[in-house]
Structure 1
């Protein structure tokens, strides 16, 4: 392989690894592009597969790749990358498992908070929290709604996190219950804060729909309107 492809450099492998980790290329796209380059391998994870192939081609490539990946940005999922992967999933070009493998390649210790790993808070929540929990039950319609959410121009990370969570029907019921309970007993703000903090990582001061909720005082029947707004 070294003799056949003398023009290949470590930069080529770095660009492929970053393209995959950011999400701009899916696993099938990487494998198709490198079909004549990669030898049979036991590695299933794309970056490991590419790194192993680079190491086999040139011993110096491995150090170059490790140094480049460790000391530069661009090695975590991006919004464009997530959109690309969701579109590929809906076109049946990748499986849910391949989406999950890509989204959760980054591992962290049990006592390490996931917040702040990625530049995009909503993408981080989807990849590291939402998808690992719900991937087995998400339907094509729910994946489509998630895609539409990430493609919106008016981005608000807090609202996006809420909307993603509310893709799950049981979460919609919990949302209605706790917010309706607050309207009925507004003096018990602690219960609302406990729910918001546990579910969304925020209190009522940062809850983006608090003004809407307070405005519905005396009209708990309007809660469905707020639910619909929060799901968009």
Structure 2
């Protein structure tokens, strides 16, 4: 039996959730995208637990089925983990002054939060797993100097990565 097609609206909201979780869009970019989409006036990014939750709540305001569809997709997706390209995007946005250190920290630590622990996936490399699961959750804040070092290290080729680069990441 053929599965019913998901409505394009649910796919649009899911793509926003996916892009934020992977790091390809910042919270500010998500808010900007949602301004053009229908949503309940009572809904505000400040009342949501995070940008991904805000997008899901906005989708539910448009149609209740959207929320359930997106929640189902999130539950079965194996690629909703922070990605190297997403970290680079967030670091650049921070250095350019488009996001705050708090917003960068919120994105960098979402994967380690208890609410999202059930949605597991595989990191693209050991460095991203180390940063998102061990380093970022205990990091008190992001400084410009730290971000510039991280950006330089993240732009280096992944394979083969020298032991010196791995050691440098661990010393940050």
Counterpart for residue 129 of structure 1: 134
- The offset of 1:117, in angstroms, is 4.9
> Is 1:86 the equivalent of 2:91?
yes
Mapped pair 1:14 → 2:19: no
Distance 1:153 1:108 in 2: 29
Gap change, CA 1:166 and 1:22, over 3 Å in 2 = same
Which one of the candidate residues 69, 77, 82 is aligned to 2:74? 69
Q: 1:108 to 1:91 in 2, by over 3 A?
A: closer
Aligned-pair Cα RMSD in Å: 2.4
CA distance in 1, matches of 2:30, 2:164: 33
**TM-score, with normalisation over the residues of structure 1?**
0.60
Distance 1:135 1:147, change over 3 A: farther
- 1:122–1:158 contact (8 Å) kept in structure 2: no
In structure 2, distance between residues paired with 1:154 and 1:118: 13
1:105–1:154: structure 2 CA closer, same or farther, 3 Å change rule? closer
Partner of 1:186: none
Larger Rg belongs to? 1
Quick check: 2:79–2:122 contact (8 Å CA) kept in 1? no
**Is 2:111–2:132's contact at 8 Å kept on the other side of the alignment?**
no
Q: How many residues align?
A: 155
Post-superposition shift, 1:118? Answer: 2.2
Native 8 Å contact 2:83 2:128 kept in 1: yes
Give the alignment's TM-score, normalised by structure 2.
Answer: 0.79
Measure how far apart 1:8 and its partner are: 5.6
1:1-232 maps to which residues of 2 (within 5 A)?
Answer: 9-37=9-37, 38-39=39-40, 40-41=43-44, 42-107=47-112, 117-136=122-141, 138-155=142-159, 156=161, 159-167=164-172
Q: Which structure's relative contact order is higher, taking Cα pairs within 8 Å and 6+ residues apart?
A: 2
Residue 4 of structure 2 aligns with which residue?
Answer: none
The answer on whether the counterparts of 1:96 and 1:135 sit within 8 Å (CA) in structure 2 is no
Q: Deviations over 1:72-130 (max 9, x none)?
A: 23211000000000111111111111111111112466xx9xxx852321112112221
User: How far is 1:159 from its partner?
Assistant: 4.7
Within 1, Cα distance between the matches of 2:129 and 2:51?
20
Q: Any unmatched runs of 5+ in structure 1?
A: 1-6, 168-232
2:162 & 2:73 partners in 1: Cα distance? 30
